[in-house]
Amino acid sequence: MIYLDHNATTPLAPEALEAMLPYLREQFGNAGSGHALGLVAQEALVLARSRVAALLNADPGELVFGSGGTESLNHALRGALTPAKRHVVSTAVEHSATLAILEDLKRAGVEVTLVGVDAQGRLDLEALEAAIRPDTALVTVMAANNETGVLFPVSEVARLAKAKGALCHTDATQAVGKVPVDVRAWGVDLLTFSGHKFHGPKGIGGLFIRRGVRLRPFMVGGQQERGRRGGTENVPGIVGLGRAAELAQAGLADMPRLAQVRDAFEARLKADHPDLVVHGGEAGRLPNTLLAGFPGLEGEALLLRLSQRGICVSVGSACTTGQREPSHVLRAMGADHGVARGTLRFSLGQGQTEADLRVVAEVLAERVTDLRAKGGLGR
């Protein structure tokens, strides 16, 4: 199997699993207990928190662990609102989880302004600045788009938000582990991340809350996480997250090589398919991501044919697979409908080589030829 869907999820690092196992077996104590087993769990949380903080250049006390990116998004977006500030600025290409939360907030009377992007998926900063109002509670933008891989100018967004008295949040779920993430350099107030995107376990992630920022607790019921997220801590998950963060920090050194592998693959596809459209290809992107459109083809049909040969890709976000219409990201970019319907996302992972991608290119050429002979739909 050749797995090229790392933006959807990543395999659990063996080192992370090994770190977790003692806390699933003999070291099963509750971190809130005062006896020996509880103290072992507390110490494990302290170590894991320091490892994640180092990856983000944050202070350990600024992190709140939870069930993952979606929970942390809810915490940030809902917790930032105040009675005097009920307006949120975001973008039209955010992850579907963010957009779903914003739609729910709108039903509760919160005003939401979505800023557009250009044909390459780049953020319109002038429009974003103009959208920020005196009653804007939060400006929330993703650090990197999960479909195109296009990077957003987070530090500039934070500067514009703070200049107008609003908090700034970034969804760094796709960025962490692929590019350097630095909450100090970026100047953000809030940042969300999820462990399974960088070889940690599923069901664990977190929220960075800059010291001094007042945010309503996401879940009440206990004093865990300094009273900001009640509930018994997922010690094994947090331990695995911490070890994965440590590995991700070291793995950043491999990203330039991975970008070269991606670029060589992209060049091969362009040579094999002269009408190929690379969405966001002219913008700065994550080093592992390629979103490519094959005009006149049905992306789902092509995906299934690749899957039959043991090649795992996606048609965009894993959260929207199965939808017949092009993704909201490609619609916001103004992509041609026929190209968007035939789009596949290839997201590489650590250790993958040009040899892997040459195999994929060869199989892809066969499958594209077969689909075109059948009118592009595979029927």
Which amino acid would we find at residue 154? V
Catalytic residue among 319, 334, 337, 358: 319
CB within 8 Å of 169: residues ≥ 6 apart: 76, 77, 80, 138, 139, 140, 141, 188, 189, 190, 191, 192
The sign of the torsion formed by the CA atoms of 268, 273, 367, 337 equals: positive
Query: Across-strand partners of 277?
Result: 293
Query: Is there a catalytic annotation at residue 319?
Result: yes
Q: How far does Cα 121 stand from its chain's mean position? A: 16
Q: How many CB atoms lie within 10 A of CB 101?
A: 22
Strands 111-115 and 136-142: unpaired
Query: Across-strand partners of 291?
Result: 345
Report the half-sphere exposure of 146 (CA within 13 A, side-chain side).
Answer: 30
CB within 8 Å of 246: residues ≥ 6 apart: 51, 54, 55
- Using alpha carbons, list the distances in angstroms from residue 312 to 5, 201, 302, 348: 6, 20, 11, 10
Q: Are 121 and 277 in contact, with CB atoms under 8 Å apart?
A: no
Alpha-carbon span 76 to 71, nearest angstrom: 9
CB within 8 Å of 307: residues ≥ 6 apart: none
Length of the chain, in residues: 379
- Using alpha carbons, list the distances in angstroms from residue 58 to 89, 177, 183, 184, 268: 25, 15, 6, 7, 40
Compute, in degrees rounded to 10, the torsion defined by CA atoms 59, 61, 62, 67.
120
Of 370, 19, 67, nearest to 229 (Cα)? 67
Residues carrying an active site annotation: 319
